[in-house]
Amino acid sequence: MAIPIITADQSLQVSAIITYLYADPGLGKTSIGFTGDKAISFDFDRGAHRTGELRRGAVVPVQQWKDVANLTPQDLAPFNTVVIDTVGAMLESIKTHLLNEANNRQKDGSLKLKAQGLANQIFKQYVNSLTSLGKDVVFIAHASEDQNGDQIIYRPDLGGKNRNELYRIADIMGYLTTVTTGEGKNARVISFKPSPTHHAKNSGALGGETGEVWVPDLKTNPAFLAELIAQAKNHINTLTPAQLATAKAVEELENWKQSCVEAEHAGDLNQLTESLDKEHMYYQSMRQALKAQAEKLKCSFNMESNRWMNPPEYTGINDQQRDQLQDFIAERGLDTRTVCEHLGIDSLMQIEVSKLTAVQKDIDDLAKQGMHA
């Protein structure tokens, strides 16, 4: 039988998409995941038990990466939606798995850069294997609250490079938050429309002009997420490949510009540079936005190291302050690698002295968030 050829002016039917939801703890993002079509949750965060009667799907209580990696297509056959809860914990699980191999570890016990790249590759390959099986994939993530001047920004609580990569591969991405209605009641809403206050993506045209989708009572709406994903697919499947590619590229450009504006130091610029795709439709515009922020921060590009450098007046913490900060991190039950990824830096030595107190508060908040996740 001849292979069907889909021309540029014909829609390309998509059977599986990637949905990305992030929120503060306690807003029910795990419960929403269970309202997907025949959902199974990969519980990397070990919080599925807190959903109580709203846990309507199967759960894989992940202790180590092999618990998921060893699942076969036959194991997943009964399910249509795979919920990764949380995606940050999944990435950590893969890295921990790689740390078991001595040749992946540096002398200080952290993961070598090459192994970090391998971790990202394993992650993407696994997600691709799920979508190739026709499974819708739902990323669940915690939100982080960052200050950019007078503006508070909400975005997924992941290191800059991972955050940019996950945004790129997602079809729709929403920020789940609470708002006060005209009647003075609290209501949950998912915002799929990007704004200066939060990152989002809406290839599925959800929520009309506002991009807002109100979360109903899940007890009486057990198929909420399934219907949301079906609606997004229906829209995506009306678009030709060229239209879909252009729509995604425009959203990625706007998110890139937003990420550039939020960059605060050379470490942020380096992570953006690493995730910059030279084949992207708007590569030149992205590159110009990056350079503009570098000029604003007075950072220079070192051709020998192929990295952005902070301005000469930039003063990083010294060895003693680093050691004290490492103790501070350990006392809160965290590790340096997790903190660096949270801050979007490669090492603690990239922390500016003037921001040390603010960084300690941020680490404190991160530890408390982990306790209440």
Domain ranges of the chain: 18-238, 243-309, 319-372
- Please work out, in degrees rounded to the nearest 5, the angle formed at the alpha carbon of residue 256 by the alpha carbons of 350 and 81: 100
Q: Which amino acid is at 142?
A: H
Coil, strand or helix: which one is 190?
A: strand
Instruction: Provide the token pair at 3.
Output: 């292979």
- 33-87 pLDDT per residue, tens: 999 999 999 999 887 767 667 777 899 999 999 999 999 999 999 999 999 998 9
Residue 160's pLDDT is 67
Arithmetic mean of pLDDT over the chain = 88
- How many C-beta atoms lie closer than 10 Å to residue 111's C-beta? 18
Q: How far apart are CA 116 and CA 346, in angstroms?
A: 11
Whether this model's pTM surpasses 0.95: no
Higher per-residue pLDDT: 107 or 37: 37
Q: How far apart are CA 184 and CA 253, in angstroms?
A: 37
Radius of gyration, alpha carbons of the chain: 21
- CATH class assigned to 18-238: alpha beta
Nearest residue to 325 (alpha-carbon basis) of 280, 272, 275, 361 = 361
